[in-house]
């Protein structure tokens, strides 16, 4: 384990925690896609029959990040109009396009009980907008209230959910007359589990090296762009803050030059996610500038692992980021099943799931 001492008993316990999916993610993707292959094709046909003018993605936390990958795929590879939103945001904004455009909503929640997402579902149903639920099982409030359900039946709430969503959207694109990019994505997606297995040891090694570099830091700027923006966001807010209990701020690589440069004299810790899509040049420029001007930088670059379809970079870098926060949480003496706030204290009076 290099220069870092870990409590062996706590490390083994954290490896078995509900959130730790590193060791089962590849198998989970394969099982879930195989189980759902016929269902996914049927749902794609239903989407095509409905002929939406736009697709609205709504979720919270990690599920919001999962949906971003589908949103990004359509935005960069299809002419289909897409919108990506948090539940409270779509309710409070109440955008006029919901009344004017033929909309299909895809809502995601691992448990199917997330309050913000259920409220968004009720809000959209009152507008007669059909809802497709992306969730762990068919037996939860979100699934039972939805018009269509795509249940991935796996604890890997990020990778398995994301794989099912991308396969569904690619089948829909083929039906919609945009087959080339969709077929390319499908072929690469089916290879992802083997890609993940192949780089698991390398990911663990790089995570430990990265942690040793920043193990004394208690505040991190987490940067990402393009296909990796949502992974950076998830890593900062639902990994570093939720589990490792350190402060984090998530920013875009391409926006770092507009103000944040002035903190470089304080030698901040920065974790950068760098993909192989068209946003890469901005990330490289930011990395080079920050390294030369005082930042303590950890880089998770997809090109160090597998040069896959750019949309799939989050699958590849998910492993190294999850190893990092597993070991970081353990190093800090944190039991990853032990919450202080979430699932312990109601966020608002009367709320049963939070």
Residues 250 and 128 in one domain: no
pLDDT of residue 2 exceeding 80: no
Edge-to-edge strand list for the sheet holding 131-135: 81-86, 54-59, 103-109, 131-135, 148-151
Instruction: List the CATH number of the domain containing 318.
Output: 3.40.50.10490
8 Å CB contact between 222 and 260 = no
Model confidence at 354: pLDDT above 70:
no
Give the total number of structural domains in the chain: 2
Domain boundary among 157, 191, 225: 191
Confidence of residue 1 (pLDDT cuts 50, 70, 90): very low
For residues 27 and 249, give the distance between their C-alpha atoms in angstroms, rounded to a whole number: 32
pLDDT tens-digit readout, 245-270:
999 999 999 999 999 999 999 999 99
Report the pLDDT value the prediction gives residue 352, as an integer from 0 to 100: 67
What is the residue-averaged pLDDT of the chain?
94
Structural domain containing residue 145: 25-191
Inside any domain, residue 273: yes
Same-domain check for residues 252 and 111: no
Please give the pLDDT value at position 343: 80
286 lies in the same domain as 309:
yes
pLDDT for res 4: 81
Residue 352 in any domain: the answer is: no
Helix axes 200-214, 313-331, angle to 10 degrees: 50
Q: DSSP state, 299? A: E
**Which ranges of 51-158 does DSSP label H, i.e. alpha helix?**
61-77, 87-93, 97-100, 115-125, 141-145
Q: What is the pLDDT of residue 341?
A: 87
For the chain, count helices (H), then strands (E): 13, 9
Of the three residues 191, 213, 244, the one that is the final residue of a domain is 191
Are 58 and 120 in the same domain?
yes
Find the mean pLDDT for residues 47-51: 97
In a domain? residue 86: yes
288-319 pLDDT, tens digit per residue, is 999 999 999 999 999 999 999 999 999 999 99
As a whole number, mean pLDDT of residues 269-274 equals 98
Specify whether 134 is located in the same domain as 31. Answer: yes
Share of the chain above pLDDT 90, in %: 90
Residue 120 near residue 81 (C-beta atoms within 8 A): no
C-beta of residue 21 within 8 angstroms of C-beta of residue 155: yes
Whether 164 has a pLDDT exceeding 50, the answer reads yes
User: Per residue in 214-226, pLDDT tens?
Assistant: 999 999 999 999 9
The whole-number average pLDDT for the span 12-23 is 92
Distance of alpha carbon 260 from the chain centroid: 24
pLDDT in tens, 86-120: 999 999 999 999 999 999 999 999 999 999 999 99
> Residue 19 pLDDT more than 90?
no
In whole angstroms, how far apart are CA 152 and each of 14, 32, 155, 167?
A: 24, 6, 9, 12
Is the model's pLDDT at 353 over the cut of 60?
no
Tell me: do 49 and 133 sit in the same domain.
yes
Q: Is residue 338 part of a domain?
A: no
Is 271 strand, coil or helix?
strand
Q: Please write down the HEC assignment for all residues of 198-267.
A: HCHHHHHHHHHHHHHHHCCCCEEEEEECHHHHHHHHHHHHHHHHCCCCCEEEEEEHHHCCCCHHHHHHHC
Overall average pLDDT of the 8-22 stretch: 92
Residue 254 within any structural domain of the chain = yes
Q: What is the pTM of this model?
A: 0.95
According to DSSP, residue 321 is labeled H
Task: Kindly state whether residues 58 and 175 are assigned to the same domain.
Answer: yes
153 and 242 together in one domain: no
344 in a structural domain: no
* Residue 182 shares a structural domain with residue 230: no
């Amino acid at each position: 384990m290099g220069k870092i001492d870990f409590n062996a008993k706590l490390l083994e316990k954290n490896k078995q925690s509900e959130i730790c999916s590193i060791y089962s993610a590849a198998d989970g993707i394969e099982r879930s896609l195989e189980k759902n292959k016929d269902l996914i094709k049927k749902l794609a046909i239903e989407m095509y029959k409905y002929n939406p003018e736009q697709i609205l993605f709504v979720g919270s936390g990690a599920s919001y990040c999962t949906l971003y990958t589908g949103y990004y795929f359509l935005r960069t590879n299809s002419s289909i109009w897409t919108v990506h939103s948090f539940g409270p945001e779509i309710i409070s904004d109440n955008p006029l396009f919901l009344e004017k455009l033929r909309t299909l909503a895809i809502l995601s929640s691992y448990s199917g009980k997330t309050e913000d997402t259920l409220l968004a579902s009720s809000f959209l149903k009152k507008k007669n907008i059909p809802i497709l639920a992306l969730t762990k099982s068919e037996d939860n409030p979100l699934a039972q209230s939805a018009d269509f359900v795509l249940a991935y039946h796996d604890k890997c709430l990020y990778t398995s959910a994301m794989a099912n969503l991308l396969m569904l959207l690619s089948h829909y694109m083929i039906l919609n007359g945009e087959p080339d990019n969709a077929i390319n994505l499908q072929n690469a997606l089916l290879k992802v589990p083997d890609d993940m297995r192949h780089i698991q040891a390398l990911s663990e090694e790089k995570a430990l090296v990265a942690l040793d570099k920043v193990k004394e830091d208690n505040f991190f700027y987490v940067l990402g762009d393009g296909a990796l923006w949502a992974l950076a966001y998830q890593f900062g807010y639902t990994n570093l803050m939720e589990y490792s209990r350190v402060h984090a701020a998530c920013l875009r690589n391409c926006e770092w030059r507009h103000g944040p440069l002035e903190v470089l004299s304080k030698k901040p810790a920065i974790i950068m996610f760098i993909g192989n899509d068209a946003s890469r040049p901005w990330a490289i420029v930011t990395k080079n500038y920050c390294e030369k001007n005082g930042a303590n930088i950890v880089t998770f670059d997809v090109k160090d692992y597998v040069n896959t379809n750019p949309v799939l970079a989050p699958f590849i870098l998910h492993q190294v980021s999850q190893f990092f926060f597993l070991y970081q949480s353990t190093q800090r003496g944190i039991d990853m099943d032990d919450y202080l706030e979430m699932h312990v204290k109601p966020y608002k009076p009367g709320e049963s799931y939070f």
